[in-house]
Amino acid sequence: MRTTDLLTVSEVAHRSGFAPSALRFYEREGLLRATRTSGNQRRYQRSVLRRLAFIRAARNVGLSLEEVAAALATLPEERPPTRADWARLSRSWRGRLDDQIAALTRLRDGLDSCIGCGCLSLKTCGLQNPADIAATGGPGAAYLPAPLRKAAG
């Protein structure tokens, strides 16, 4: 590998849109790997840009850092990930996205009907989810389902 094949932190930050602090964080978490110069400066292989694109997409879908790390662990270290690698990993996201879309649609439709009927009472709110932990205490406002909490964070 030639030294011209390596990128500095600022080059990776500029090209990926991630802050340098995020790059250092992802490196500490084991999601990225950097080499060091004789002056102890980080250098990244160009393939790190694809890994960062994957991290951004996975986080946008709502994957936790642990899930992202597990997915990245299945990718090759010796070469940049291919289109087939990404397709294999992203297939598992379809169900999660469908669930999030359905939950958001129910939330949107529930807001419309709730506001329309004026039931902003905690006792009669149609947004109350009987399957969530808050419902164990009786009727009232409910927490968002787990996929929506992850997507919001």
End-to-end CA distance of the chain: 38
Beta carbons within 10 angstroms of residue 91's beta carbon:
9
The Cα–Cα gap between 25 and 8 comes to 15
> The domain at 3-91 falls in which architecture?
Orthogonal Bundle (1.10)
Check: CB of residue 47 under 8 Å from CB of residue 39: no
pLDDT tens digit sequence for 101-150: 888 888 787 776 555 455 555 555 555 555 555 555 555 545 545 444 44
Residues of the chain with pLDDT > 70: what percent? 69
